[in-house]
Structure 1
Amino acid sequence: MPTFEPWTIIKVPFPYTDRPVRQRRPALVVAAGDIQQDHGLLWVVMITSADNRGWPSDVPISDIVVSGLPAPSVVRTAKIATIEAKEAEAIGRLPEADRETVRRLLLGVLAHATN
């Protein structure tokens, strides 16, 4: 099984919250390391087309070539999931220019969850 790092963009069966279906789609790895080594899991956030209705916490991906994506897309930081690493396939990396915004939004959510 490949080893993944944060900021890797993968293709994976991503679970939906509003229906019992999983669709193979891009996602951003936000945690791997020990969680992958010890449990075979990854924490990921959804990536979706920039053409979809935007959410306040969406982060536009600045370079689709580096990301490996076929069309302009956004990181949907509000949709996080735990997936099995064995189902993931690396396709690219989140451009460095976009990482701080994603990090800030995710840390903000976690800070509110732990208060």
Structure 2
Amino acid sequence: MPIFNPWDIVKVPFPYTNRPVQQRRPALVVSTGEHLLWVLMITSAENRGWPGDVDVDNLMSAGLPSASVVRTAKIATIEARSAEPLGNLSSAVARSEVARHLRMALAVILAEPLS
């Protein structure tokens, strides 16, 4: 099984929220565990933008065929064994933007009292 690191771009079976299907699509690794990856969805830049989208600005390094964005609002936990390596998010600016959006989302969650 390949070893993955944060900022790697992989192809994984990403679940849909509105139907019981999965599609293999690119995703950005943001955290790794022994057997699990936390990944953010990567989608075409041609799709309607969402708040928190971050441009992938080096497609060759990322291993992506066309203009794409990291959709920081879509996170999933995936078994590492089902991931295929594609490339990595090499831009320090893009990494910083992704991290900023994740910190903002987690700050909201962590500010909520646990019930």
1:109 and 2:96 aligned = no
- 1:95 and 1:58 map into 2 onto residues whose CA distance is 16
Partner in structure 1 of residue 75 of structure 2: 80
- 1:92 and 1:20 map into 2 onto residues whose CA distance is 28
TM-score when scaled to structure 1?
A: 0.93
Structure with a larger share of its residues in helix: 1
Q: What is the CA-CA distance between 1:95 and the residue it aligns to? A: 2.1
Partner in structure 1 of residue 14 of structure 2: 14
5+ long unaligned stretches in structure 1? none
The 5 Å alignment of 1:56-71 reads 56-71=51-66
* Number of matched pairs: 110
- 1:45 and 1:89 map into 2 onto residues whose CA distance is 15
Q: 1:55 aligns with which of 43, 50, 54?
A: 50
Give the 4+ runs in structure 1 shifted more than 4 A: none
TM-score when scaled to structure 2?
A: 0.93
5+ long unaligned stretches in structure 2? none
Identity fraction in percent:
60
- 2:43 and 2:71 map into 1 onto residues whose CA distance is 7
Root-mean-square deviation over aligned CA pairs? 0.7
In structure 2, what residue type is equivalent to 1:104? Answer: R
Q: What is the CA-CA distance between 1:6 and the residue it aligns to? A: 0.1
1:48-95 CA distances to partner (integer Å, 9 max, x unpaired)? 000011101100111111110000000000000000000001100002
